[in-house]
Amino acid sequence: KPKVITIVRSGPKPRANVKILLNRRSVQSYEQLVTDISEAFGPKHRHAKIRRLFSVRGKEVHGISDFFRDDDCFIAVSVGEANPSDADVGELLEEIFPEGNYAKVFQREWEKNQRRSRRSVAGSLKSNRDAVNTNAAMGKYEAERRAAEDEKRKRGLVPPRNMENPFKKTEDPRDKEREEAARRKREEERRRREEERMEQEKKEKEREEREQAERAARERMQQAEQKEKEAQEKDRLEQEERDRKKKEKDDKAQRKAEKASKAKDGASGQNDASPGQKQDAAQTKDKQRESDATTAAPETSEPATAAAAAAAEDAEMSEAAATTAAATAPVAAAAAAAKDQAASQRQQQKEKRRQEREEKQQRKRAKTKIVRKTKEERQVASDDYILERYDLGRKLGDGNFAVVRQSRKKETGQEFAVKVIDKAKLKGKEHMVENEIDIMKDCNHANIVRLFEEYETAERIYLVMELVKWVSHFKPLGLSALMVKDLCNALYYMHSRSIVHRDLKPENLLVHRNKDGSITLKLADFGLAMEVKELIYTVCGTPTYVAPEILTEVGYGLEVDMWAVGVITYILLCGFPPFRSPDRNQTELFEFIKAGEYEFLSPYWDSTSKSAKDLISRLLIVDRRKRFTSVDVLSHKWVVSNGQPETVPDGAPSLDAACKKTRRELEDQAKVNYDSYQRHKAEKRKERERIRGEE
16-39 confidence digits (pLDDT tens)? 888 888 777 777 788 888 888 888
CB 500 within 8 A of CB 439: no
pLDDT of residue 615: 95
The CATH T-level fold of domain 384-467 is: Phosphorylase Kinase; domain 1 (3.30.200)
What is the C-alpha separation between 111 and 54, in angstroms, rounded?
Answer: 12
The separation between CA 322 and the C-alpha centre of its own chain, rounded to angstroms, equals 83
Mean pLDDT of 580-607: 89
Mean pLDDT of 631-643: 92
> Among 8-17, 85-94, 114-123, 546-555, which range has the highest average pLDDT?
546-555
pLDDT of residue 140: 62
pLDDT of residue 229: 79
Comparing 584 with 606, the larger pLDDT belongs to 606
pLDDT of residue 545: 94
Is there a binding annotation on residue 419?
Answer: yes
pLDDT of residue 295: 41
Could you tell me the pLDDT band of residue 170, with boundaries at 50, 70 and 90? very low
> Letter for the amino acid at 59?
K
Name the DSSP letter for residue 379: B
Every domain of the chain with CATH number 3.10.20.230 lies at: 3-125
Query: Does the reported pTM lie above 0.75?
Result: no
What is the C-alpha separation between 313 and 635, in angstroms, rounded?
Answer: 98
Every domain of the chain with CATH number 3.30.200.20 lies at: 384-467
Q: What average pLDDT does the chain have?
A: 77
pLDDT of residue 634: 95
What is the CATH number that goes with domain 3-125?
3.10.20.230
100-133 confidence digits (pLDDT tens)? 677 777 778 877 877 777 676 555 555 555 555 5
Residues 6+ apart with CB under 8 A from 378: 217, 453, 454, 455, 456
pLDDT of residue 474: 43
Which residue in the list 71, 265, 422, 503 is annotated as catalytic? 503
Angle (CA) 636-440-19 rounded to 5° is: 80
Percent above pLDDT 90 for the chain: 21
CB 506 within 8 A of CB 571: yes
What is the C-alpha separation between 389 and 411, in angstroms, rounded?
Answer: 7
What is the C-alpha separation between 54 and 189, in angstroms, rounded?
Answer: 37
477-691 architecture in CATH? Orthogonal Bundle (1.10)
Is 503 known to be catalytic? yes
Count of beta carbons in the 10 Å neighbourhood of residue 63 = 10
pLDDT of residue 141: 61
The side-by-side arrangement of strands in the sheet containing 17-22 is: 17-22, 3-9, 73-78, 50-55
Least confident of 178-187, 321-330, 629-638: 321-330
Q: What pairing do the DSSP bridges indicate for beta strands 499-500 and 530-531?
A: antiparallel
* Helix intervals (H) in 497-650: 548-552, 559-574, 586-595, 610-619, 630-634, 637-640
Could you tell me the pLDDT band of residue 362, with boundaries at 50, 70 and 90? low
Burial 131-154 (b: 16+ CB within 10 A, else e): eeeeeeeeeeeeeeeeeebeeeee
On the 0-12 / 13-18 / 19+ scale of CB atoms within 10 A, 454 is buried
Q: Is the pLDDT assigned to residue 228 strictly greater than 50?
A: yes
Could you tell me the pLDDT band of residue 582, with boundaries at 50, 70 and 90? confident
Burial 462-475 (b: 16+ CB within 10 A, else e): bbbbbbbebeeebe
Percent above pLDDT 70 for the chain: 76
What is the C-alpha separation between 133 and 114, in angstroms, rounded?
Answer: 29
